[in-house]
Amino acid sequence: MQRKRDASVPIGFSFAILLAICCPAGVDAQERRLGECLRNAGASDEAAFLVFDAELRSALAVDDPTYLTLLSRYPLRVYDDDGALDITDARTLYSMSDTVFPEAVRSRVLDTDLADLICVNTGIGYGSGNLWVNFRKDGDRERFQIWEINLPRGAEERSANAAFVCRTTVFRSVVDRNVDGTLRLRVWNRPRPIDQTPDLELRSGQEGVEGTGVCGHRVFSFERDDTTYSVSEIGCTAEFPPDDAVGRYSTRVGGAVTASMWCF
C-alpha cells in the first residue's frame, strides 16, 4: 500500500470533502462512522485500530521518541516544504523525532476525533492529512502503523509553542499557542496523567501585559460563561510569593475571585 504526494488525497485537498468520504452522519455516531471509515481504507479490525490509536496518542503526548519508533513503518516518508525524505530505520527516526513529529503535527493528531479521521483507499489520515496510517496483515489480525508525515508549512510550524506552564498542588496546566496563533489552556487535575484528556480545555484566550518596566508581566485569560480563568507571571506584588513560584493562577466568577494560588 503506497501513496505519493499527488495521489488520490493531495495535501491541501478540501478537508470538508475528505470528512464526507470518511464519516457520514447518522444516529449510531462514532462506532458506525469508524467502521465505515476503516472499510474505506480497506481495513476491518476496529479493535486493533482503537488499540493503535490509543498508543499513538499516548506516544505523541510524552517526550520519549521510543514509542513512535515502535509505531512506525520503515521507510517512513516525510514531506516538507523542500520535498520528501525517507526515514529508513528506528535509530534515524529517534534522532530526528523533533523534526518528524514537531508540536504542530502532535497537536493536530491529538485534536483529531475518531469521527474526523480521513479514510480513503490509500490509508487513514489525522489532522488535515498531517499523519497517515496504513496496515499489514498478521495472521487474522491487522497491524496498523505510521507510514507518512506531511509537515505543516514553515510559517505555521514556527508559530506553535508553549507560552506558560503552571503547576499547583491541585493541578497541572499549560498555555500554548496553536499553529493558527490562537491561545489554548489545558488543565489536568492531580492525579490525572497528562496523557489523558484534560479536565479543562479552553481556546481563543487573550494575552495581555500588566505593570510597567521591571514590573511588567504577561497575563493569559480565558472565558467560559461568566467565569474567567487567568494564569500570569509574578511581576511586582505586595504579597510574598514562595521562592520557587513562577506565576499565579486565579478564577473569577462575575468579577469576584473564587480561587487563587501560586504556580510553581
Q: 4-52 pLDDT, tens per residue?
A: 344 434 333 333 333 344 444 443 555 678 999 999 999 999 999 999 9
Residue 159 — pLDDT band, cuts 50, 70, 90? very low
**CA 124, CA 117: separation in Å to the nearest integer?**
7
CATH fold of the domain at 15-155: Nuclear Transport Factor 2; Chain: A, (3.10.450)
Secondary structure (DSSP) of 101-166:
S-HHHHHHHHT--GGG-EEETTEEEETTTTEEEEEEEETTEEEEEEEEEEPPPHHHHHT-EEEEEE
Rounded distance between C-alpha atoms, residue 200 and residue 186, angstroms:
6
CA distances for 110 relative to 106, 136, 236, 247, angstroms: 6, 23, 37, 27
Percent over 70 (pLDDT), the chain: 84
Q: What's the average model confidence in pLDDT over 113-132? A: 91
Specify the pLDDT at position 234.
87
User: What is the reported pLDDT for 255?
Assistant: 82
The C-alpha cell of 91 is what? 535509530
Secondary structure letter of residue 199 according to DSSP: S
Domain definitions of the chain by residue range: 15-155, 159-263
pLDDT band for 238, please (50, 70, 90 cuts).
Answer: confident
Q: How far are the Cα atoms of 51, 245, 246 from residue 235, in angstroms, in the given order? A: 46, 11, 9
Whole-prediction pTM value?
A: 0.50
> Do residues 200 and 186 make contact, with C-beta atoms less than 8 angstroms apart?
yes
